[in-house]
Structure 1
């Protein structure tokens, strides 16, 4: 069972990024974004779990100091989700459940924060986390949340990538390819060059997988 969960969570790439430029966000949020991208796209996989664990602790402290600011809730959730992917096993379920609660709190507080990223983040969890009895996965809820995220950020690289990945997961290969193609056309994000580069590689991998079925 642990091996199955590890495989599932290794595939998770829930960590999302803002469409707005890094300069428009508080410096500590910019730090979280930058450090997340460094760990995710530059560190060897064997070093990521420990690094993300440290970053979770930092993000949690920031969120506690800013309880009414949705961006801190979102980024703690994003980091916890990615930490779950690096961690794997049953321990990862606790992290994604906490991330789910953080995204829900952010939506209740400010649904448009970081261009609706909480919706896309939550939608990503719903289609990648196992369903009952192990987890809370739900494809219908996933689609609802992902489309809501797209309504806030229709041209965004992350909103389109995750919806495309959901469609790929649903074996809707032609539709997935179209959405991936749109994701590649997303405008660059100031200060997020490393995240954009890493996301584009994931988009290209998704396009390749979709084309194999067409």
Structure 2
């Protein structure tokens, strides 16, 4: 089983955003609650409960507006985040559900949320176990990361997760370059908690690489 399958996901720790969120209270609420679940709750049981509720609310929002690709991305992120906290064989079902959602967005609207579906799916391909347990594949991850960066070359998440991938696959110097680029990403005024959490993850990763 791959390192980090019990994902600090992101985590999928994921804080992905588009300017459209500024005018969308439904998505803004989901993103804010994700950051609270991921970064402010310490107990694993409480994290699981938080993500469970968030998944339910995201599914309800998506049922009301099934054409919303941004909500599909966030349902995938929330499922992946729950998989990272809860672990076990149930996590495989969650990440497989997330994969289906993300592939649907990539097929229909890959630039949604600045290519976040590509970054998210790339991270899943890198983090989850390979065959026969799951679909992990670093070659596929690298392909998706490059597509994500073509859409969003300066994003904090696209650069952080690619930098993490490069570090994990032994490309330390290149990893440091992408992680430091992630540090310079523009602040998101409506996402202070997510930015703070991601910046701490960047610092920690650079420390692991003896760069801090």
What is the TM-score when the length of structure 2 is the normalising length? 0.93
Does residue 12 (structure 1) correspond to residue 3 (structure 2)? The answer is no
Distance (whole Å) between structure 2 residues aligned to residue 201 and residue 19 of structure 1: 21
Q: CA offset at residue 108 of structure 1?
A: 1.8
Q: CA offset at residue 6 of structure 1?
A: 9.8
Matches for 1:156-175 after TM superposition, within 5 Å: 156-175=155-174
Name which of 31, 36, 39 aligns with 1:38.
Answer: 36
| CA RMSD across the alignment | 1.6
Distance (whole Å) between structure 2 residues aligned to residue 91 and residue 105 of structure 1: 22
The alignment of Structure 1 onto Structure 2 pairs a total of residues equal to 208
Distance (whole Å) between structure 2 residues aligned to residue 6 and residue 181 of structure 1: 23
Kindly indicate whether the alpha-carbon contact (under 8 Å) linking 1:39 and 1:51 is maintained by their aligned counterparts in 2: yes
Q: CA offset at residue 109 of structure 1?
A: 2.1
Kindly indicate whether the alpha-carbon contact (under 8 Å) linking 2:3 and 2:127 is maintained by their aligned counterparts in 1: no
Quick check: 77-86 or 4-13, which moved more? Answer: 4-13
Kindly indicate whether the alpha-carbon contact (under 8 Å) linking 2:2 and 2:127 is maintained by their aligned counterparts in 1: no
Aligned equivalent of 1:59: 58
State the secondary structure of the residue aligned to 1:190: coil
Q: CA offset at residue 5 of structure 1?
A: 7.7
Distance (whole Å) between structure 2 residues aligned to residue 182 and residue 124 of structure 1: 18
Aligned equivalent of 2:195: 196
Distance (whole Å) between structure 1 residues aligned to residue 2 and residue 180 of structure 2: 30
Matches for 1:101-180 after TM superposition, within 5 Å: 101-180=100-179
Q: CA offset at residue 21 of structure 1?
A: 6.4
Structure 1 residue runs without a partner (length 5+): none
Q: CA offset at residue 198 of structure 1?
A: 0.1
Distance (whole Å) between structure 2 residues aligned to residue 196 and residue 44 of structure 1: 18
Q: CA offset at residue 210 of structure 1?
A: 1.8
What is the TM-score when the length of structure 1 is the normalising length? 0.92
Distance (whole Å) between structure 2 residues aligned to residue 145 and residue 8 of structure 1: 19
Aligned equivalent of 1:208: 207
State the secondary structure of the residue aligned to 2:6: helix
Distance (whole Å) between structure 2 residues aligned to residue 207 and residue 183 of structure 1: 11
Quick check: 44-53 or 158-167, which moved more? Answer: 44-53
Distance (whole Å) between structure 2 residues aligned to residue 113 and residue 70 of structure 1: 7
After TM superposition, which residue ranges in structure 1, 4 or more long, deviate above 6 angstroms?
A: none
